[in-house]
Amino acid sequence: MSDFTNPVEPFLRTDRMPHIWCPGCGIGTTVNCFARALIESKIDLESLALVSGIGCTGRVAGYVKLDSFHTTHGRAIPFATGLKLANPKLNVVVYSGDGDLSAIGGNHLIHAARRNIDLKVICVNNLIYAMTGGQTAPTTPSHAITSTSPYGSCEPAFNLPHLVEAAGAVYVARWTTFHVRQLARSIAEAFNKKGFSFIEVISPCPTLFQRRNKLGDGLDTMKYYKEKSKVKHGAPTSEVGMTMTGEIIVGKFVDRDRPDYQTMARAQLAESLGDRFVEQAEMVCS
Amino acid sequence: MKADPRGVLTGVHFLDGDHACCEGALAAGARFAAGYPITPSTEVVERFAARVPTVGGTFIQMEDELAASITLQGAVWGGAKAFTVTSGPGFSLMMEHIGYAAMTETPCVFVDVQRGGPSTGLPTLPAQADMMQARWGSHGDYEIIALCPNSPQECFDLTIKAFNLAEEFRVPVMFMMDEVVGHMTEKVVIPPADQIEVVPRRHTRKPLGEYLPYQTNGDMVPEIAHAGEGYKFHITGLTHDERGYPNMTPQVQDKLVRRLQNKIRNAADRIALYEEENLQDAEVVVVSYGITSRVAQRAIEMARAKKLPVGKLRLITAWPFPETKIRELSAYVKAFVVPELNLGQMVHEVERAAAGKARTFAVPHAGGSVHHPEDILKAIVEASR
């Protein structure tokens, strides 16, 4: 029997299957890549915590067999910030959607990047609010039909890699759910990075985005990702903005080093307080 | 368990209420605060930011109150005792996370140094107009505990109490100060650490694999685990079963929400704290809290000088409302007089508990200053007729 166990199964709460995601949805694919990255990086699962916000991707927290927190809409990053600061030994992953992270949670996204909090953020970008029925998001490409832009969206979309690079992230990559190996590798790479890492995963929502925009089903979207993606490591993030059906620039855009928040805080306090500075003890107050 | 001496500034001090609250938090074992500046509460976190690196802990100033109120909860699940501090406008922004703390049973403390509202209102002037918001501000059915100090000494003592209640019941505790109590400076005595009782976290002792995050064993409050200990637990703001797994059935909703409510309601008499004076021969009882209780004290003394049979009931616990006490009193007193720095909030609770057996006289005040004792006296005289 064990010969037939899927290698990612130990990372999942199999008692919660089947999951809620639609056929053709890319979120499950990203979870698979995440699990493979955990295997590859041999990370200690007991010190790994995962925090999600609200939305389809927000449900990831409920399916992984880790200390996992399904928080409020937009607030996964500040929750994760508290978790990381209270217990710096934890590896903290934020796993959420584009609407959650960049609209309602946009303020926290840029400030966590600015502070360089040591968090790994995986942002599954399906270009809409999917859980609530496919409404316009800050990431929706111009002219796209959504349930709240029935005549086409008139707003320009956020270019998330550009946003988080400008705010201070030390690692920024983008892949699509077609690029499963590259995505797993990027996640594993982010685990070796200290500081604010951001990985955007472009993912289909066949039920609500592709269907309304007559872009086919999940498989058609894979073909689109395959044909229109161009790997450009180190591409200037100002040039990686997306359009409805145009080229998708993918790759590792940013990989730089600067001290993370806790390193900076400790240095500042030690310098100013000298002998009076007391290192934060383990906070477990049981 | 006794307080960790590193956080206890034992001695006799001259402190304002905000600073005393900070010292109470440190004495209670709080080693994490997330905040966002707002008058008249900022001094609490200013002092914490200066003090906590010298006792081993963290303060972070977040980008807004939405962030502060959930960052502290992340810290709690990371093992810390944590709190945040705000005033009306920030308190409004924190409501969603008070609900999250209630739903996930995250022990934590929200300090609200009340100022005049609504909206930006009176940033530097007092009110007590967030009392109902503290109880009902987040959506859905839930219970919290709220305490009301009336002096810097109580800001110290009751902050410790607030943390202790948060741990005992795994509930967010609202610490309802007001601008005057926050900014008045008085003598504050901080006892030695071995005289300060601190309630430890209800941490599970179950072996890995046997722990269920929301399983209760008779006493209605589940045991907690922290991230990184190997339990691999799941926490959600969705309606959840004992495993912490989402479950959207009316049965699970009923069981969960009733337990969240009853773990506090059933203990209401035990949680209730109040100060009473001259109640045995009273015909009229002045019910007050926070700074208003100190103005009421003067009015009561004036009334008693006029031989009016007036007693005093000062609420220290506002929520759960000590309705048993009001019910007992209403069996023999004629009336309650309820002055507060709002246009009528806790008076409704007094009226409800009195259930028509004693009359209720509100002494409303829109905030911006405290009452004049004469106004309370007038109400006492009227109530005595």
Domain coordinates of chain B in residue numbers?
A: 5-195, 274-384
- Between the two ends of chain B, the Cα-to-Cα distance in Å is 51
Contact across the interface for B227 and A89, Cβ inside 8 Å:
no
Helices (H), chain A: 27-41, 60-63, 76-86, 98-99, 106-115, 160-167, 180-191, 218-228, 261-273
Q: Angle A106-115/B65-77 helices, nearest 10 degrees?
A: 60
Bridge partner list, B335: B284, B359
**Secondary structure of residue B227 in the 3-state scheme:** coil
Helices (H), B87-245: 88-104, 131-136, 152-169, 179-183
Let me know: does B84 contact B111? Beta carbons within 8 Å. yes
DSSP letters, A61-86, are HHHBSSEEEE--TT-HHHHHHHHHHH
**Secondary structure of residue A284 in the 3-state scheme:** coil
Predicted confidence band at B344 (pLDDT cuts at 50, 70, 90)? Answer: very high
Contact map slice: A 40-99 vs B, CB within 8 A? 45-47, 49, 51, 61-62, 65-72, 74-75, 78-87, 89-90
Q: Out of B81, B237, B245, whose CB is closest to A71?
A: B237
User: Phi and psi of B257, rounded to 5°?
Assistant: -70, -35
In chain A the domains, ranked by start, together with CATH numbers, are 2-259 (3.40.50.970)
How does pLDDT run across B192-221, given as a tens digit for each residue?
999 999 999 999 999 999 999 999 988 899
Contacts of B325 (CB under 8 A, 6+ apart): B272, B274, B313
Residue-level length of chain B: 385
Distance set, CA A50 to CA A25, A92, A153, B88 (Å): 21, 6, 33, 32
Angle at B233 between CA B230 and CA B237, to 5 degrees: 150
Q: Return the H-helix or E-strand segment holding B378.
A: helix B373-384
Whether the link from the prior residue into B107 is cis, omega within 30° of 0, is: no
- Between the two ends of chain A, the Cα-to-Cα distance in Å is 41
Q: From 3.40.50.720, 3.40.50.970, 1.25.40.390, 1.10.645.10, which CATH number describes the B5-195 domain? A: 3.40.50.970
Let me know: does B266 contact B345? Beta carbons within 8 Å. no
Residue A188: predicted pLDDT:
97
- Interface with chain B: mutation pick from A14, A48, A60, A79, highest number of B CBs within 10 Å: A79
Q: Out of B78, B96, B100, whose CB is closest to A283?
A: B78
CA distance A78 to A82: 6
Contact across the interface for A86 and B75, Cβ inside 8 Å:
yes
DSSP symbol at B23: H
**Secondary structure of residue B331 in the 3-state scheme:** coil
Would B5-195 and B274-384 be classified into the same CATH topology? yes
Nearest-neighbour CA in chain B from A19: distance (Å): 12
Residue A283: predicted pLDDT:
66
Contacts of B279 (CB under 8 A, 6+ apart): B285, B311, B312, B313, B329
What mean pLDDT is reported for chain B?
98
Chain A residues whose CB is inside 8 A of the B203 CB are 284, 286
| B103-115 exposure pattern, b = at least 16 Cβ within 10 A, e = fewer | bbbbbbbbbbbbb
The candidate with the shortest Cα–Cα distance to B98, out of B172, B159, B169, is B172
Average of pLDDT values for B112-127?
Answer: 98
Residue B24: predicted pLDDT:
98
Contact across the interface for B56 and A69, Cβ inside 8 Å:
no
Structure tokens at A210: 């592709």
Low-confidence ranges of chain A (pLDDT < 50): 286
Nearest-neighbour CA in chain B from A265: distance (Å): 9
CA distance A80 to A69: 9
Residue B178: predicted pLDDT:
98
Contact map slice: A 1-20 vs B, CB within 8 A? 13, 16
Contact across the interface for B200 and A72, Cβ inside 8 Å:
no
CA B189 to chain centre: 21
- For the CA atoms of B286, B287, B290, B293, the dihedral, rounded to the nearest 10 degrees, stands at 10
B22 in the Ramachandran plot: left (φ > 0), alpha (ψ -120 to 50) or beta? Answer: alpha
The candidate with the shortest Cα–Cα distance to B229, out of A64, A9, A284, is A284
Q: Out of B66, B77, B237, whose CB is closest to A83?
A: B77
Chain A residues whose CB is inside 8 A of the B54 CB are 273, 276-278
- Interface with chain B: mutation pick from A47, A51, A60, A67, highest number of B CBs within 10 Å: A67
- Interface with chain B: mutation pick from A85, A100, A284, highest number of B CBs within 10 Å: A85
CA B379 to chain centre: 28
The candidate with the shortest Cα–Cα distance to B33, out of B73, B74, B84, is B84
CA A262 to chain centre: 22
Structure tokens at A244: 């409805």
Contact across the interface for B75 and A279, Cβ inside 8 Å:
no
Residue A286: predicted pLDDT:
45
CA distance B318 to B314: 10
DSSP letters, A153-188, are --SPPP-HHHHHHHHT-SEEEEEETT-HHHHHHHHH
Let me know: does B325 contact B313? Beta carbons within 8 Å. yes
CA distance B86 to B66: 11
Q: What class has domain B274-384?
A: alpha beta
The candidate with the shortest Cα–Cα distance to B58, out of A261, A42, A57, is A261
Cβ of B64 under 8 Å from any chain A Cβ?
A: yes
Burial of B364 (0-12, 13-18, 19+ CB in 10 A): middle
Cβ of B234 under 8 Å from any chain A Cβ?
A: yes
The CB density around residue A188, as the number of other CB atoms within 10 Å, is: 19
CA distance B43 to B20: 10
CA distance A129 to B67: 22
Contact across the interface for B228 and A67, Cβ inside 8 Å:
yes
Distance set, CA A115 to CA A88, A167, A223 (Å): 15, 9, 39
Q: Out of A90, A282, A285, whose CB is closest to B200?
A: A285
- What interface predicted TM-score (ipTM) does this complex get? 0.97
Contact across the interface for B56 and A284, Cβ inside 8 Å:
no
Residue B217: predicted pLDDT:
82
